[in-house]
Chains A and B, each alone.
Chain A
C-alpha cells in the first residue's frame, strides 16, 4: 500500500515539475522571443494586436505656443 502511495506521490511530483518547467519555458518564450518573431509565427497583424480596442486615434493638440521667438 505504502509502495503504491509512494509511486503516486512521485508521479505527481513529476507532473508538477513538468508543468513548472513548461510554464517557465512559456514565460521565457514570451519574454525573450522577439516581438516581431511572434508576429511572424502567428501571422498576427501588429496593427490589430495593439490598436483594435481603441475608439479613436485622434490625440488632443496641446495648447503649446506654436509661434515663438528664436533664442539664438
Chain B
C-alpha cells in the first residue's frame, strides 16, 4: 500500500525504512533538545509492544536501556480512567487532567492495592482482572466498576464529586509512578538532563512536578509528545543513523514548533477580498487595545504549530483579567464543559514576575503556580496554570502583541487557547479560520495583519465563506 502511494510521487523505487515506535518517540525527544547528553523517558499507551522505555542519548547516539511491555501501560491505565470518567479515550485524557484539581485523591490506596503494583524503581504491572482492553473493545470491565462502587459516568452528564476524586486519584498515582521512574533513570544514567516524549508526557502537571523535584537539572519535553511527534522522531532517528554530526541549539531545534503550513499576507488579502469580507490593516497596538477592552480575538499568523497545542499562530486571545472570561469563551466560543481553565501566555522576560518558578516554557508543557489572584481566567482552583512563555525568537508575532499589550496596560499576561471549536481540530488555512470565526461569537479575527470585525459580517453566510471560491 505504501509503495502504491509512494509511486504517486515517483518514489516507489526508494528504500523504505522502519523505525520502532518508541525509538521514534525517544529520537523526537532527544535530537531536537538542547542537550549533548541526556536521559530519555518515553511513556505512552502502546507502541509495538513497549509502553515505557528508558534511553541514554549522547551526541548522536541513542541507546535503549530498559522497557516495560504491553499490557502494562501507564497510558492505558490513564485512558482506562478517562473512559471510566466518561471522556473519550485517546483524546479526553487532558480533560481528566483538568478535572483532577477539583477532586481529592481519596482512591489512591484503592488503586495502588488493587489495580497496579509499583516497584521502587517505578516499574509497574497492571492487574488485568480489572481491565478489558486486552480482550474486548472497552477499557475496563464490571469488576473495575464494582471496585469503585460506581458505574462508568455517562458522557456529557453532570460530573459529580466522585469522578472528580477519581480523577485526582489517578493523577496522583501517575505522578507517583513517573517520579519513581525519573529517580531510577537518574540513578542508572547519572546525567544532568532529561528528555521526554510519548502521549503521557503531554501531562503537563506531571512534567511540572518532575521539574520541581530537581532530580534532573534540566527537563525538555518534545512539544508534539504524542504520536504525531513520532513522524519527526523517525526522520531524525534515520538522519542521525547516517554519517552526520549533531547540531545542538542553545534553546532547542524545534523552531518554536512552527513547522506547519502558512499563508502569505497577499494570499490572505486575496481570500478576504474574494469572499467579500470587509477588512482593514491593523497594528499590534490597535489589536492590544481591543483585547484590553474585553474583545475576544482569533489570532492567525505565520506558520501553523506542529503538535497538539496552539502556541500563538492559531490562537484565540483574550484579556485574562476579566472575571467571567473563562465562562464566556467556554460557552460562546469553544462550546464545551466549563471546568477547564485556559492557558496564560506571558512575556519570557516577565515570567518570574507572575509565576513561582523561573523556567523557560515556550511549548506549554509544564504547569506552574501563579503568584497573583488578578487573573481568574487562567488560574485553576489550585492556583496552577499551563503557562507558555513567549520570546522574540520563538514566536515573533505573538511577542509583538504581548509587548504592545504591556505598553498599554503594564501587564504581560493574556489568555491563549486553541483556535477551534469543540470537536474540531485547530484551524489550519485562512478559510478554516474564517469559517470558525463565522460560526462562533468571536468579536474579531486578526489574519496576518488584517482585522475583520464580526459586526461587518452579519450578512455573510457561513456556507458562502466555507464553500466559496476554491
Q: Which residues of A contact B (CB under 8 A)?
A: 39, 45-48, 51-52, 54-63, 66-70, 72
A47 touches B67 (CB 8 A): no
Q: Which residues of A contact B64 (CB under 8 A)?
A: 61-63, 66
Question: In this assembly, does B124 line the interface, its C-beta being within 8 Å of a C-beta of chain A?
Answer: yes
Cβ of B138: which chain A residues have Cβ within 8 Å of it?
none
Complex contacts, A60 vs chain B, CB 8 Å: 65-66
Residues of chain A within 8 A of B65, CB atoms compared: 60-61
Contact assessment for B16 and A72 in the assembled complex, using a CB-CB cutoff below 8 Å:
yes
Cβ of B20 under 8 Å from chain A:
yes
B231 to chain A minimum Cβ distance, whole angstroms, is: 14
Contact A59:B128 (CB < 8 A) given known A51-B117, A67-B18, A67-B238:
no
Which of chain A's residues has its CB closest to B55's CB? Answer: A61
Tell whether B157 is near chain A: CB-to-CB under 8 Å: no
In the complex, are the beta carbons of A57 and B119 less than 8 A apart? Answer: yes
For A72, list chain B residues within 8 Å (CB).
3, 16
Q: Is B124 a contact partner of A57 (Cβ separation < 8 A)?
A: yes
Residues of A within 8 A of B128 (CB): 46-47
Partner of A58, one of B15, B114, B123, B241: B123
Residues of A within 8 A of B184 (CB): 58
A66-B241 Cα distance, complex, nearest whole Å: 10
Q: Are A69 and B117 in contact (CB under 8 A)?
A: no
| 10 closest residue pairs by CB, A with B | A61-B64, A57-B123, A70-B16, A47-B127, A58-B66, A58-B123, A66-B23, A66-B20, A56-B123, A61-B67
Given the known inter-chain contacts A39-B129, A46-B128, A58-B66, please indicate yes or no for A67 contacting B19, CB distance below 8 A.
yes
CA distance A56 to B187 in the complex (A): 14
A56 to B47, CA, bound (A): 21
Contacts across chains A and B counted by CB atoms under 8 Å: 76
A69 to B241, CA, bound (A): 12
Q: For A57, list chain B residues within 8 Å (CB).
A: 68, 72, 117, 119, 123-125
- In the complex, which residues 352-375 of chain B have their Cβ closer than 8 Å to any Cβ of chain A? none
In the complex, which residue of chain B has the Cβ closest to the Cβ of A51? B125
Chain B residues near A (Cβ < 8 Å): 3, 15-20, 23, 50, 53-54, 64-69, 72, 114, 117, 119-121, 123-129, 184, 237-238, 241
A47-B125, A59-B68, A61-B53 known; A67-B117 Cβ under 8 A: no
* Shortest Cβ gap from B75 to chain A (Å): 16
* Neighbouring B residues of A69 by C-beta, 8 Å: 15-17
Ordered by A's residue number, 27 sampled pairs between the chains whose C-beta atoms are within 8 Å are A45-B127, A46-B127, A46-B128, A46-B129, A47-B117, A47-B126, A47-B127, A47-B129, A54-B119, A55-B119, A55-B120, A56-B119, A56-B123, A57-B124, A57-B125, A58-B67, A58-B121, A58-B184, A60-B66, A61-B50, A61-B66, A66-B64, A66-B237, A69-B15, A69-B16, A69-B17, A70-B18
In this complex, what residue of A is CB-closest to B68? A57
Closest to B122 in A: A58
Other A-B pairs, 6, CB within 8 Å; known A61-B66, A62-B64: A55-B121, A56-B121, A58-B68, A59-B66, A59-B68, A69-B17
How far apart are the CA atoms of A61 and B67 in the complex, in Å?
6
CB nearest neighbor in B for A46: B129
Give, as a whole number of angstroms, the nearest-CB distance from A18 to chain B.
Answer: 36
**Measured CA separation A39–B125 after assembly (Å):** 18
Q: Are A68 and B66 in contact (CB under 8 A)?
A: no
Q: How far is the CB of A20 from chain B (nearest CB, A)?
A: 35
- The distance in angstroms between the C-alpha atoms of A67 and B16, with both chains bound, is 10
Per the bound structure, the CA–CA distance linking A48 and B222 in Å amounts to 36
Given A66-B23, A67-B237, A67-B241, CB of A45 within 8 Å of CB of B69:
no
The reply to whether A45 and B129 form a contact with Cβ atoms under 8 Å apart is: yes
Which of A48, A52, A57 counts the most chain B CB atoms within 10 A? A57
Shortest Cβ gap from B299 to chain A (Å): 40
**Residues of A contacting B72 in the complex (Cβ-Cβ under 8 angstroms):** 57
Which A-chain residue is minimally distant from B237 (CB atoms)?
Answer: A67
B347 to chain A, nearest CB (A): 42
A10 to chain B, nearest CB (A): 49
Q: Which residues of A contact B15 (CB under 8 A)?
A: 69-70
- B17 vs chain A, min Cβ distance (A): 6
Beta-carbon nearest neighbor of B123 in chain A: A57
B66, closest chain A residue (CB): A58
Q: In the bound complex, do residue B119 and residue A67 qualify as a contact, i.e. CB atoms below 8 Å apart?
A: no
A68:B18 contact, CB within 8 angstroms: yes
A52 vs B125: C-alpha distance when bound (angstroms): 10
A51 neighbours in B (Cβ, 8 Å): 117, 125
Residues of A within 8 A of B119 (CB): 54-57
Q: Considering only CB atoms, which chain A residue lies closest to B114 in the complex? A: A45
Least Cβ distance of A62 to chain B in Å?
8
Complex contacts, A67 vs chain B, CB 8 Å: 17-20, 23, 237-238, 241
A57 CB to closest chain B CB (Å) equals: 4
The answer to whether B16 touches A59, judged by C-beta atoms less than 8 angstroms apart, is no
